[in-house]
Copies of this chain bind each other. A is one copy, B any other.
């Protein structure tokens, strides 16, 4: 079979492989690593041999070939690269500028390429803005407490120029991306499907803002649907793109736990935020700490210690760009931090999440309402539009 594009262009060849093989397909990754993407494609199409380059360690290549060949029909990565270009974006490959070197630590699971959708970061900026970076992950079913803690951590780190990597999901992920944007930082969302689809749909506006000021990335080409096993392999990219992974809230079993495990395997520091032992939403964090996988952290300063150990270059001071929470009294800040954007919450819920007493929370709400930052209807409080 003759493939209709220039196999010797590593961009085209790697884009093709990202469509042919599933993420973290170790056979495909090993073959491409050993033979190069072009020779591997020629072998697959039957127009060349991998011969002496074929590594002995790759078993079952003949069966895998049948699986991969099913995807050769109609394969033309130029179409997907065009789609990416129309969305605003570029393909990061190991052979060119724009490749985050941190991914190399994944070894045999290093992706073929990274589809980058961005309105802000060119190949010169992406790796630079992710150095250093922290991954902030956690439960979709986060509590107001968890979202508030995530916002506190990210607000500090992003304002100091630390890139914030997460998965674009509801809950902790969304709080991390939103806060990074609010303080003028850089944030990257790693998708489990193609970057043409901002998933989940409920976060579409947030993720559009991430594209505008940061990047939405994936190892899968546009058009690829997010599927269960793709979420699992996506998590390894979240861990690998940063130097430190922080789990803010996680149930006993959760994707965040897996991301933390990958980060630990990469010998990168993992941190977890504790919470009430009565909250199922913190059980995964406590488990990570008890297992010795994660260090307990209570604030951004302790995450910064993991990022820049004693003796290394200090992080930048927080930038002067005014953030949403700047100039507010601590109590007002805590309450505004805890207020959701959409569905309102009761004062009781706010008291639980903010750590303030009911009278303190009420006083803060009334100040935030007067300054136009918060609004209520039927006793449910949310941020007002100007504060979003």
Contact = CB atoms under 8 A, between A and B. Distances in A.
Interface of A: 145, 148-149, 273-279, 282-283, 286, 289-290, 295-296, 298-299, 302, 334, 346-348, 351-352, 354-355, 358
A298 B288 CA distance: 12
A296 B148 CA distance: 23
Contacts of A286: 274, 296, 298
Contact of A290 (B148, B302, B347, B348): B302
A351 to B, nearest CB: 6
Given A289-B289, A296-B289, A296-B296, A278 B352 contact: no
A210 to B, nearest CB: 26
A346 B352 CA distance: 13
A354 B278 contact: yes
A358 B348 contact: yes
A279 to B, nearest CB: 6
The 3 A-B pairs of least Cβ separation, nearest first, read: A278-B355, A274-B274, A277-B298
A271 to B, nearest CB: 11
Nearest to A361: B348
Nearest to A355: B278
A302 B148 CA distance: 29
B149 A278 contact: yes
Contact of A348 (B148, B282, B348, B354): B348
Best-surrounded residue of A149, A276, A278, A354 (most CB of chain B within 10 A): A276
Contacts of A302: 290
Given A274-B275, A290-B295, A348-B351, 6 more contacts: A149-B277, A273-B277, A275-B275, A275-B277, A283-B298, A352-B352
A296 B274 contact: yes
A278 B351 contact: no
A267 B148 CA distance: 38
A278 B334 contact: yes
Contacts of A290: 295-296, 298, 302
Contact of A277 (B274, B277, B346, B354): B274
Contacts of A273: 277
A278 B148 contact: yes
A270 B346 CA distance: 38
